[in-house]
Amino acid sequence: MSKEFRAATHASKWEVEPQGAKRIPRGFILPSAAFTVKLSRIKRYRLSDKPPQPGDVVYGVVSRIGEHSSLENASGRIHRIHDGTRAVFVFGNRYAPDYYEGRIPDRMMDELDLLARSGMVGLVETKNTLVKDPTKVRVLGYVYSEADGKVLNTRDFSLIAPSKTVKKQPRSPMILICGSSMNSGKSMAAAACCWALSSLGHRVRAAKVTGTASLKDILHMNDAGAHPYADFTYLGHPSTYMLPEEDLLAVFNQLDLKFANNPNNFWVVEFADGVMQRETAMLLNSPHVRERIHKLVFCASDAFGAIGGLSILAQEFNLVPDLLSGVCSSSPLLIRELSEFTDIPVFNSAEVDVGALSSILTS
């Protein structure tokens, strides 16, 4: 063994390697926004003036705690973070009316905003006044591949190979859950649908097609009996905000091809945010998506939101929900208000009548 080789293998973990690269010491957090990237690939980082792209992976240090005081890792565990916590982060755009609208900057910055607990970073453009300023991340450099020297990008590590391009018929009936806004109760309704079907013996697959990386929602569907399950992060996207329409439809179609080929199964699908949000509207405007709907569940926070949503669905997308649910479904008073405007059934996703809900979803 040469002296040069021994020196290289026993180098300090902070020693600068050729071309300004440094080793990443162990003990960092691998967040869920980097779900598709194996831990074994996270070895080195270096500074670069390359303009960031969606999915680019960086190594950094939490420099100031703001709104987010935790990180969700790639296994779904929630880590408490502190000033000085080391982690890898992923560039992405975020649409979240209750939190931030965040975008990827057009150049690398020394400090970035933590846009989501999943480890997605960018710069906040607008903020809900009820939340704190974002947690700050000091960027140390891009994480790069030892094989080819390129910056690691989550989109290069899809877990779902596009092995099929033609959807065989008939397909799994799709139960689609959408809503009036963020936090209108869609994820709870999706889990309720999974539970109502699976507990009566039906095989259920589940997917969240749009949104910002977060394992919580699909894990709740799994807890309710859905298996397998996936979202857009399985295809390498840290978020779907500002995706080109063809890429967005590709996400839907790849998940459909992967999970909905058996007509004896059910496919429960959630679209994030509200029906007027860019990506949700794009999908609902697509005839390929609308023709896949077996049952449509619409969620709202209150009766007025539900009534307004019914109008938008009819006028903009020529859609009528089969069921109403969401936050409003937990209040008998709101259900009473709703009943004066529509006879569409309402189900309480917090206290599920399994038999009644299953009979509607399977009819």
**DSSP notation for 80-117:** E--TT-EEEEEE--EE-TTSEEEE--SS--SEEEE-ST
- Rounded Cα distance, 341 and 306, in Å: 10
Domain 174-362 CATH superfamily: P-loop containing nucleotide triphosphate hydrolases (3.40.50.300)
pLDDT tens per residue across span 244-288: 999 999 999 999 999 999 999 999 999 999 999 999 999 999 999
Confidence of residue 95 (pLDDT cuts 50, 70, 90): very high
pLDDT at 11 over 70: no
pLDDT tens per residue across span 292-321: 999 999 999 999 999 999 999 999 999 999
Give the 3-state secondary structure of residue 317: helix
Burial environment of residue 4 by CB neighbours within 10 A (0 to 12, 13 to 18, 19 or more): exposed
Tell me if 143 sits within 8 A of 44, measured CB to CB.
yes
Give the 3-state secondary structure of residue 267: strand
Tell me if 248 sits within 8 A of 279, measured CB to CB.
yes
Strand residues in the chain grouped as ranges (E): 22-23, 44-46, 57-64, 70-72, 78-80, 86-91, 94-95, 100-103, 111-114, 120-127, 136-144, 174-179, 204-208, 229-231, 266-274, 293-299, 323-325
Confidence of residue 19 (pLDDT cuts 50, 70, 90): low
Nearest Cα to Cα of residue 87 among 127, 67, 117, 123: 117
pLDDT tens per residue across span 100-116: 999 999 999 999 999 99
Tell me if 326 sits within 8 A of 297, measured CB to CB.
no
Give how far the C-alpha of residue 148 lies from the chain's centroid of Cα atoms, to the nearest Å.
29
Q: Give me the sheet containing 229-231, strands edge to edge.
A: 229-231, 204-208, 266-274, 174-179, 293-299, 323-325
- Rounded Cα distance, 109 and 104, in Å: 10
Confidence of residue 12 (pLDDT cuts 50, 70, 90): very low
Asked which of 63-77, 83-97, 102-116, 159-173 is least confident by mean pLDDT, the reply is 159-173
Residues in Cβ contact with 314 at an 8 Å cutoff, skipping those fewer than 6 apart:
320
Give the 3-state secondary structure of residue 258: helix
Is the bond leading into 228 cis (omega within 30 degrees of zero)? yes
Nearest Cα to Cα of residue 247 among 119, 317, 158, 168: 158
Domain assignments of the chain as residue spans, ordered by start: 3-154, 174-362
Provide the pLDDT for residue 21.
87
Residue type, 176: L
With 0.75 as the threshold, say if the pTM is over it: yes
- Rounded Cα distance, 178 and 209, in Å: 11
- Rounded Cα distance, 303 and 282, in Å: 25
